Amino acid sequence: MTGPEILKETISIIERHVPVHLRSQIKSDLFIFDGSLDSLGVLNVISDLEQKFAIKFSDDDLQEEKIQTPTHITRVVTELLTQRDKSGVLH
């Protein structure tokens, strides 16, 4: 899966967890901690990403500065997919 495809899927997952009136506003550079998602919403997004991509986020991966926007999240997912593909083990 390419970076743009991962970003598209990440945005799609985030859209499922934000209020309907905000869904059209989800862009690659939207700060998800600006109130668009509450803490439960963030957890649901992370869980959905783990299921979709067969990855496991570590506590380090979930530092706020690493998952501020869909673009940031895509970078982390891409890194985890690369690690998984190299080792054959879920991270």
The CATH classification of domain 3-87, taken from the options 3.40.50.20, 3.20.10.10, 1.10.1200.10, 3.40.50.720: 1.10.1200.10
Domain boundaries, the chain: 3-87
pLDDT at position 90 over 70: no
Residue 52's pLDDT band (cuts 50, 70, 90): very high
Q: How far apart, in whole angstroms, are the C-alpha atoms of residue 52 and residue 76?
A: 14
Ramachandran angles phi, psi of 46, nearest 5°: -60, -45
Q: How far apart, in whole angstroms, are the C-alpha atoms of residue 26 and residue 84?
A: 28
Q: Residue 65's closest CA among 17, 33, 21? A: 33
**pTM of the predicted structure, to 2 decimals:** 0.85
pLDDT at position 34 over 90: no
Residue 91's pLDDT band (cuts 50, 70, 90): low
Per-residue confidence (pLDDT) for residue 64, from 0 to 100: 87
